[in-house]
Every structure is written in structure tokens, then in C-alpha cells.
């Protein structure tokens, strides 16, 4: 037995999501990303004596949205605390956070919904906090530079229970959270720019054991794929240590994207004692039932709900449903499309097929797509009524529609002589041409090479320029040849 098979992994994730508020958590400075360094730094952000923080109301709204979407319990009385430590990018010398009273408790993320692998991962808590500034080590050969624009920007931290068992599950968990914050429009979910950051707590233990092993916490993964790589590396590293008779130390490690390894950042001995105490400059915030109800009313359709409707009611495959809910604008487009056609499967095929190819080829998103869903629905109807074939629709009509978005597909089909011919006489005409043009194949077919039917049908479609109704043509061709 492979030594790695003797062990199982235990994983808990901490995700920091930067809230998409205009101003910071406790100051009115702009929270925008990418401004000139140190331009959004009021005396409050810099922690000058005598300044007072004021809570940004949006923080509460966004955290409540997230909590509701994750089925968490929302706390009524929210207090704030100071988490003290000394670091160059932390001008106040402390972060305002929530220590004992996180705004959300409990809730869960459903991994791989509607599949055999479906599994709930419980959320421990979600709390509000503020970001630190940014130390830049790669801008100057000798000095570390500090940009304090990010100091004080709103964050939520989402802490999971240690219930994730593999790097695949972790990948799915972060994917779900990212999709969710984007649907809720509370965070842009951009891991490269650091608006979504994930720390992975990993330990291993012998299979079936009930005592968790010592854990490490790995930081600095700038993509979901790198979260997975970091976890895979840690699991293997820890098993190798144990198998070599050594111990896993509780420590914080840093991920290196270049080779997928993790290296020691600081050990437990150096761990901070944050000396939390209640923030004296902020009053507790009361989150009332009617406020929660109000926020709940404003929640958009969520990806998992859409997924259920698409797979259970619309009969889409998991794969197709996932492609559609991947981004909110696509989901919205599809939803609108299904207001105009009941052929859900065709609607999904058009969106995931021709439309996405067009978007990719032109480097645009669905929001910039010129054709409104109702136009695509009209095209689907043409096909369903047998007026044009799928091929004619996608290869001829669709490209013309894109150039002339105001013209109805039926008009395009008529103007361009693309209406499918289901008239027997017309089709028989085409059949005669095919027979005349392919004497050898016809003889071979008659001598038993029945597989030539495909070739002959192909010729027929070609002769008819794609307009012959294929079902009818097939029947008539067989009749004629037999
Ligand atoms: P800390 O302040 O030490 O980071 P938190 O409570 O904020 O502690 O987060 C701990 C995270 O580590 C949680 O996501 C939790 O599920 C996870 N965790 C706790 N124990 C283990 C363990 N033995 N192995 C893996 N993950 C663990
Ligand atoms: Mg931690």
C-alpha cells in the first residue's frame, strides 16, 4: 500500500474578501484599487491622534447579504474589537475587527450540488474587519516601499470548519465562494489583485483517526488553482515528515507559485498575541430583524438556486448548467432567454455554443453582445418550426443577425433564400441531381454498401445549399434508392 493512502487530510479555509464599497470601512477615503500610492490616506486612515472611525453602513449590508446567502445566523448586537500588532503597513498599530461577536455564525457551502460528490461544508463564522496597507518588496532594490491606500479597506473573513478533505474539495469551495460574492456584487473576486485571498489550514492524520494532526497555515496563493497546488504540496510534505519520524510543526507558510512549494514564514513561537480589547471609539451596531428582511428581499437569484432550476426543471446537464452560472451576466442572459423560449436545451446550446464562440473570438463579454435574448429565441423558434436547419441558423443567419441586429431572423432567412424546403417535389429534384452526379456511389450503395447513405445525404445537403429538410430528404432518398 502506498504510504500516502494511509493518511487523510483535514483542511479548513479562511477567505478574506475585500468588500466592493466605494469608501473604506471606517473612513471616507476612496477604497478604489490601483490609484497612485498613498493618495487615499486621510488622518483617520493614518491613525493620527484625535481622529475617530465611523462605520461604513455598506459593510453591514454586504456582510448580511453574504450571511443570508450562506444560510448563516445573523448577529443582532455587533461589537468591534482592536487587534493590536506592530507592522509598517499598519499605521494605527491595530486593526478594527470583530473578535467575540462575528456578524454571521454558522451556515454552509454545498460542494458539487446534485452529484454523487455533493457535500456540505459548514461555516464557522464570518466577521468584519479592515485591511492593512501594502508592503512592496520588488519596486526598489534596497528598500521596501509602503502604499497605505489599502489600509482600512473593508473586508469580511469567512472561516470554514475543518471539514474539507481534499484539494479538489477546497478548489470547489473557493470557486463557490467566489461565484457567490460576485453574484451578490459585494466583492469582485479577483484573486490576482488580492481582493479575494485564501489561507489554507492543512493537517494530516491516519485514516479513520478522530484526532486531528498539527496544522500549518499557507498564505499567498493568487489563484484557485494555486490554493489546490499549495494544499497538495502541504499534504505530501506533512506525510513525508511523519513517515520520516519527524513532527509537523504548527506554523505559517508561504506558497511559491514558481515551483508549487511552500516555505516557512513564521513558527508558532513567533505567533502574535494580539491583545484584543473592545474598540472604544465605535458603538455596537444593532442589526434588526426588519433590516435583515429588507436585505433578504433585495438578494438576487443565487448561482446554486439557478443551478437547481437548470438541472432539475430545465433538464440541462450539470456541465451545461455550470457553464451558464459561471458568471452572473451569462446567467442573467440565459434567464431572459428562457422567458422567450421554452426550448431550454436549445437556449443553452446557443449560449454555450455559437454565442460564446463569438464572444471569445471577439474578446468581448455577454454584456457587450449586440443580440438581445429575444432575438435568439426567435431564431430557435425558426428551427423548431422546421423553417431552417440548425446548421443554416448558426452558419448563415446568426452572423447576419450580428451585423443587422434589428432585423428579425425570419426576414433574414427569407431575404437570403434560406428557408428550408420540405416540399417533396423540390427535394426529389435535389435527389435526382445527386443520383446523376454520383453514379459510382449509387451503384455501390445498391450493391450493399449501406454506409454510403451518409455520403449521399451530405451531397444532397450540399446541392440544396443546406435548405432541404434533412428528415424528409432522408426518407425520400431511401425510397428512391430502394
Ligand atoms: P487562527 O486564528 O489560528 O487562524 P482560526 O480559528 O481563525 O484560527 O482559523 C482556523 C482555521 O483552521 C479554520 O478554518 C479551521 O477550520 C482550521 N483548522 C483548525 N484545526 C485544524 C486542523 N487540525 N487541520 C486543518 N485545519 C484546521
Ligand atoms: Mg488563521
The DSSP string of 359-384 is HHHHT--GGG-SS-HHHHHHHHHHHH
**Cα–Cα distance, 112 to 307 (Å, whole number):** 11
* Alpha-carbon Rg for the chain in angstroms: 30
Whether residue 423 has pLDDT greater than 80: no
Which range (99-108, 193-202, 417-426) has the least confidence?
Answer: 417-426
Q: Checking DSSP bridges between strand 154-160 and strand 261-267, what pairing results, if any?
A: unpaired
Burial class (CB in 10 A: 0-12, 13-18, 19+), 286: exposed
Which range (8-12, 44-48, 386-390) has the least confidence?
Answer: 386-390
Residues 6+ apart with CB under 8 A from 196: 15, 16, 17, 18, 177, 178, 181, 187, 188, 189, 190
CA-to-CA dists, residue 219 to 17, 216, 253, 279, angstroms: 14, 10, 6, 28
**Cα–Cα distance, 158 to 126 (Å, whole number):** 5
**Cα–Cα distance, 415 to 404 (Å, whole number):** 13
Mean pLDDT computed over 211-220: 96
Cell (9 digits) for 63: 456582510
**Cα–Cα distance, 385 to 68 (Å, whole number):** 44
Whether residue 268 has pLDDT greater than 90: no
**Cα–Cα distance, 472 to 475 (Å, whole number):** 5
Chain centre to alpha carbon of residue 60: 23
Whether residue 46 has pLDDT greater than 90: yes
Nearest ligand to the C-alpha of residue 158?
A: 1
In degrees and rounded to multiples of 5, residue 146 shows phi and psi of -120, 130
Atom of ligand 1 nearest to the CA of 163: 16
pLDDT band for position 208 (cuts 50, 70, 90): very high
Residue whose cell numbers read 484584543: 276
Mean pLDDT computed over 428-434: 90
Helix (H) or strand (E) holding 312: none
Which pLDDT belongs to residue 471? 82
- Do the Cβ atoms of 29 and 148 come closer than 8 Å? no
**Cα–Cα distance, 47 to 82 (Å, whole number):** 13
**Cα–Cα distance, 97 to 365 (Å, whole number):** 37
* Residue 134 three-state SS: strand
Cell (9 digits) for 72: 448563516
CA-to-CA dists, residue 115 to 119, 314, 317, angstroms: 9, 16, 11
**Cα–Cα distance, 74 to 289 (Å, whole number):** 9
More confident residue, 269 or 10: 10
- How many angstroms does the Cα of residue 216 sit away from the middle of ligand 1? 9
Which pLDDT belongs to residue 461? 87
Instruction: For ligand 1, atom 15, name the residue with the nearest CA.
Output: 12
pLDDT band for position 13 (cuts 50, 70, 90): very high
pLDDT in tens, 348-398: 999 999 999 999 999 999 999 999 999 999 999 999 998 888 888 999 999
Atom of ligand 1 nearest to the CA of 212: 23
- How many angstroms does the Cα of residue 198 sit away from the middle of ligand 1? 13
Query: Best mutation site among 201, 203, 239 for ligand 1, i.e. most ligand atoms within 8 A of its Cβ?
Result: 201
Taking Cα atoms as reference points, which of 375, 448, 374, 384 lies closest to residue 409? Answer: 375
Query: Best mutation site among 9, 11, 12 for ligand 1, i.e. most ligand atoms within 8 A of its Cβ?
Result: 12
Nearest ligand to the C-alpha of residue 272?
A: 1
- How many angstroms does the Cα of residue 26 sit away from the middle of ligand 2? 23
Which pLDDT belongs to residue 466? 79
Which pLDDT belongs to residue 200? 98
Instruction: For ligand 1, atom 5, name the residue with the nearest CA.
Output: 159
Q: Checking DSSP bridges between strand 196-206 and strand 216-221, what pairing results, if any?
A: antiparallel
Whether residue 288 has pLDDT greater than 90: yes
**Residue 298 CB neighbour total at 10 angstroms:** 10
Query: Best mutation site among 7, 13, 14 for ligand 1, i.e. most ligand atoms within 8 A of its Cβ?
Result: 14
Which pLDDT belongs to residue 167? 98
Pocket of ligand 1 (CB under 6 A): 10-14, 159-162, 201-203, 212, 215
Taking the C-alpha atoms of 204, 207, 208 and 210 in order, what is their torsion angle to the nearest 10 degrees? -20
Q: Checking DSSP bridges between strand 251-256 and strand 216-221, what pairing results, if any?
A: parallel
- How many angstroms does the Cα of residue 390 sit away from the middle of ligand 1? 54
Whether residue 1 has pLDDT greater than 80: no
- How many angstroms does the Cα of residue 136 sit away from the middle of ligand 2? 22
Nearest ligand to the C-alpha of residue 218?
A: 2
C-alpha distance across the termini of the chain, in Å: 63
* Residue 87 three-state SS: coil
Taking the C-alpha atoms of 310, 312, 315 and 317 in order, what is their torsion angle to the nearest 10 degrees? 70
Which pLDDT belongs to residue 420? 77
- How many angstroms does the Cα of residue 201 sit away from the middle of ligand 1? 6
Residues 6+ apart with CB under 8 A from 25: 19, 53, 55, 56, 59, 96, 128, 129, 130, 152, 153, 154, 155
Taking Cα atoms as reference points, which of 418, 422, 346, 352 lies closest to residue 378? Answer: 346
Query: Best mutation site among 162, 213, 276 for ligand 1, i.e. most ligand atoms within 8 A of its Cβ?
Result: 162
Taking Cα atoms as reference points, which of 318, 311, 316 lies closest to residue 350? Answer: 316
- How many angstroms does the Cα of residue 121 sit away from the middle of ligand 1? 14
Taking Cα atoms as reference points, which of 382, 431, 430 lies closest to residue 407? Answer: 382
Which pLDDT belongs to residue 383? 93
Atom of ligand 1 nearest to the CA of 213: 23
Instruction: For ligand 1, atom 11, name the residue with the nearest CA.
Output: 12
Cell (9 digits) for 57: 453602513
Average pLDDT, the chain: 94
**pTM listed for this prediction:** 0.86
Q: Where are the domains of the chain?
A: 3-291, 301-415, 424-481
**Cα–Cα distance, 475 to 431 (Å, whole number):** 11
- Do the Cβ atoms of 27 and 60 come closer than 8 Å? no
- How many angstroms does the Cα of residue 270 sit away from the middle of ligand 2? 14
CATH hierarchy code of domain 424-481: 1.10.10.410
Which pLDDT belongs to residue 418? 85
- How many angstroms does the Cα of residue 462 sit away from the middle of ligand 1? 65
Amino acid at each position: 500500500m502506498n504510504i500516502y493512502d494511509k493518511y487523510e487530510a483535514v483542511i479548513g479555509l479562511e477567505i478574506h474578501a475585500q468588500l466592493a464599497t466605494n469608501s473604506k470601512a471606517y473612513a471616507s477615503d476612496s477604497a478604489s484599487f490601483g490609484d497612485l500610492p498613498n493618495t487615499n490616506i486621510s488622518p483617520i486612515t493614518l491613525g493620527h491622534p484625535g481622529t475617530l472611525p465611523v462605520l461604513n453602513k455598506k459593510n453591514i449590508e454586504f456582510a448580511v447579504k453574504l450571511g443570508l446567502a450562506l444560510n448563516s445566523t445573523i448577529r443582532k448586537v455587533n461589537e468591534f474589537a482592536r487587534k493590536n500588532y506592530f507592522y509598517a503597513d499598519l499605521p494605527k498599530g491595530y486593526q478594527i475587527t470583530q473578535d467575540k461577536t462575528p456578524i454571521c455564525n454558522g451556515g454552509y457551502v454545498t460542494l458539487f450540488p446534485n452529484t454523487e460528490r455533493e457535500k456540505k461544508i459548514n461555516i464557522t463564522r464570518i466577521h468584519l474587519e479592515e485591511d492593512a496597507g501594502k508592503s512592496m518588496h520588488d519596486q526598489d532594490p534596497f528598500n521596501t516601499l509602503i502604499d497605505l491606500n489599502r489600509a482600512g479597506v473593508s473586508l469580511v473573513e469567512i472561516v470554514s470548519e475543518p471539514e474539507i478533505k481534499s484539494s479538489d474539495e477546497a478548489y470547489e469551495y473557493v470557486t463557490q465562494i467566489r461565484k457567490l460574492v460576485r453574484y451578490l456584487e459585494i466583492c469582485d473576486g479577483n484573486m490576482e489583485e488580492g481582493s479575494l485571498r485564501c489561507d489554507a489550514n492543512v493537517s494530516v492524520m491516519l485514516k479513520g483517526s478522530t484526532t486531528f494532526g498539527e496544522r500549518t497555515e499557507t498564505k499567498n496563493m493568487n489563484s484557485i488553482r494555486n490554493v489546490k497546488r499549495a494544499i497538495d504540496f502541504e499534504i505530501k510534505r506533512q506525510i513525508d515528515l511523519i513517515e520520516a519520524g519527524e513532527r509537523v510543526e504548527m506554523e505559517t507558510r508561504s506558497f511559491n507559485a514558481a515551483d508549487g512549494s511552500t516555505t516557512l514564514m513564521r513558527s508558532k513561537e513567533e505567533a502574535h498575541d494580539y491583545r484584543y480589547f473592545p474598540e472604544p471609539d465605535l458603538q455596537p451596531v444593532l442589526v434588526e430583524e426588519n433590516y435583515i428582511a429588507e436585505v433578504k428581499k433585495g438578494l438576487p437569484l443565487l448561482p446554486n438556486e439557478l443551478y437547481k432550476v437548470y438541472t432539475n426543471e430545465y433538464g440541462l446537464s450539470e456541465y451545461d448548467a455550470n457553464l451558464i452560472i459561471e458568471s452572473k451576466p451569462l446567467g442573467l442572459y440565459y434567464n431572459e432567454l428562457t422567458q422567450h423560449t421554452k426550448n431550454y436545451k436549445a437556449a443553452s446550446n446557443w449560449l454555450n455554443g455559437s454565442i460564446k464562440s463569438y464572444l471569445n473570438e471577439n474578446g468581448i463579454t455577454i454584456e457587450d453582445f449586440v443580440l438581445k435574448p429575444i432575438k435568439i429565441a426567435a431564431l430557435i423558434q425558426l428551427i423548431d418550426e422546421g423553417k431552417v436547419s440548425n446548421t443554416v441558423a448558426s452558419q448563415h443567419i446568426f452572423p447576419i443577425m450580428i451585423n443587422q441586429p434589428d432585423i428579425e431572423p425570419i426576414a433574414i432567412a427569407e431575404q437570403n433564400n434560406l428557408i428550408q424546403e420540405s416540399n417533396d417535389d423540390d427535394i426529389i429534384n435535389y435527389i435526382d441531381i445527386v443520383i446523376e452526379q454520383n453514379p459510382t456511389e449509387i451503384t455501390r450503395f445498391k450493391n450493399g454498401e449501406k454506409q454510403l447513405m451518409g455520403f449521399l445525404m451530405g451531397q444532397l445537403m450540399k446541392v440544396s445549399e443546406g435548405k432541404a429538410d434533412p428528415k424528409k430528404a432522408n426518407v425520400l432518398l431511401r425510397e428512391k434508392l430502394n
